Amino acid sequence: MTAYLNALGVICALGRGQAEVCARLLAGDTSGMRPYPTPVAGMSLPVGAVSGALPALADPAPGEDTRNNRLLLAALEEIDADVQAAIAHYGRARIGVVIGTSTTGILEAAAGIAGEIRQGALPADYHYAQQELVAPARLLADRLGLGGPSYSLSTACTSSARALISARRLLRAGVCDAVLCGGVDTLCDLTLQGFTALEATSPALCNPFSRNRAGINIGEGAALFLMTREPAPVALLGAGASSDAHHISAPDPRGRGAIAAMRQALADAGLAPADIDYLNLHGTATRHNDAMESLAVDAVFPAGVPCSSSKPLAGHTLGAAGALEAAFCWLALSAHNPARRLPPHRWDGEADPALPPLALTGTDSRLPERSRYRMMTNSFAFGGNNSCLILGSDA
């Protein structure tokens, strides 16, 4: 059974909505990366922040009004007509919700706890529910009155890639006829302080796969798909997942789990490495992750594959990254990209001689002239958690 990605709502540092995000993605626009408002460990850190006002929640339940939920509502607004059509066609009981996240409402929760430390009591608007992992999935299910399974996944930076895999499983099992699936995560001090404590953040724009790479830039955003069995221009053709459990934060330097996830996705899609037209790299710009991914990609694609990292464009959106970068592939496969351009890899051009060379895209990179296109996207996470998705289209 093929699962189709019938609709997409997206918001991130590249902009709001399919058209804006796609245009800036394909231009390699890094202007959305801006300094975080306050210093972190004495440093000014670039982050991929969403600018402007977000949708307000009408009559929010206790703990429901968080930036994370408002980012998700902004993505929902773009596909509301598609969702309402699905409700009319399938019925609310046959539509599920699966969302990947890692921060949920920690931004608001941390502010509440800081208030308690300063004033001796939690603020009146503090509620534990705002930081529950299920919060974004519950928001969509409650606001839309959906009766299918509704849950969130949190596997660090693979969370929303696994949400898409889980949504496809619900369709295949006949539990749902449609699933709202994707991911959302929000910038907050706790995340930035934590990654800085791990010496993983860069004080400059991140520089994936360069010999000069110095760490990640954190971002925020949301990507929300409507997935059904109904044919659409873009399909989820294959998926792979593994857990090598090498280390709590460091990747397996040999890339065994990453290799397994990519090969599993290819097998699931019935494709060979030569069938993949483009690979969205996880590409965090940390020393160890880029080294591992270079080895893994070289092992799976010995003949090479056009590839790039989108982290210098939107930041690393953590729990939202898997779905957001699947959305970037969806956009590159869509009618928003009639010139068949590929997202360019933004870096300083200084390759690391210790790593296998990759076929990194440039500003003039294009898809070949043919009727079908296949794109892969990688997501790798703490704890050795690995996911890989393959999207495809018919021109």
Q: Under 8 Å CB-to-CB from 89, ≥6 apart: which residues?
A: none
Mean pLDDT of 360-384: 93
Residues tagged active-site: 157, 282, 316
At 44, list the tokens: 């000014």
At 322, list the tokens: 């898997």
Residue 395: pLDDT band with limits 50, 70, 90: very low
**Structure confidence at residue 253 (pLDDT):** 82
At 137, list the tokens: 């999935």
Q: Is 197 helix (H, G, I), strand (E, B) or coil?
A: helix
Q: Is the pLDDT of residue 394 over 90?
A: no
Q: What is the pLDDT of residues 204-227, one digit of tens each?
A: 999 999 999 999 999 999 999 999
Q: Is the pLDDT of residue 286 over 70?
A: yes
Across the chain, the runs of DSSP E, i.e. the strands, are 3-12, 15-16, 33-35, 46-48, 95-100, 150-153, 178-185, 221-228, 234-243, 278-281, 306-309, 359-360, 372-381, 385-394
Mean pLDDT of 166-178: 98
Q: What is the pLDDT of residues 55-103, one digit of tens each?
A: 999 999 999 999 999 999 999 999 999 999 999 999 999 999 999 999 8
Residue 244 has, within 13 A of its CA and on its CB side, a CA count of 22
Share of the chain above pLDDT 70, in %: 99
Q: Which domain, by its residues, includes 237?
A: 3-394
Mean pLDDT of 308-312: 98
Q: What is the pLDDT of residues 246-257, one digit of tens each?
A: 777 678 888 899
Q: Cα–Cα distance between 168 and 323 in angstroms, integer?
A: 13
Q: Enter the pTM of the model.
A: 0.97
Please count the structural domains in the chain.
1
Q: Cα–Cα distance between 21 and 358 in angstroms, integer?
A: 25
At 82, list the tokens: 């598609």
Q: What is the pLDDT of residues 113-155, one digit of tens each?
A: 888 999 988 988 888 898 899 999 999 999 999 999 999 999 9
Write the CATH number for 375: 3.40.47.10
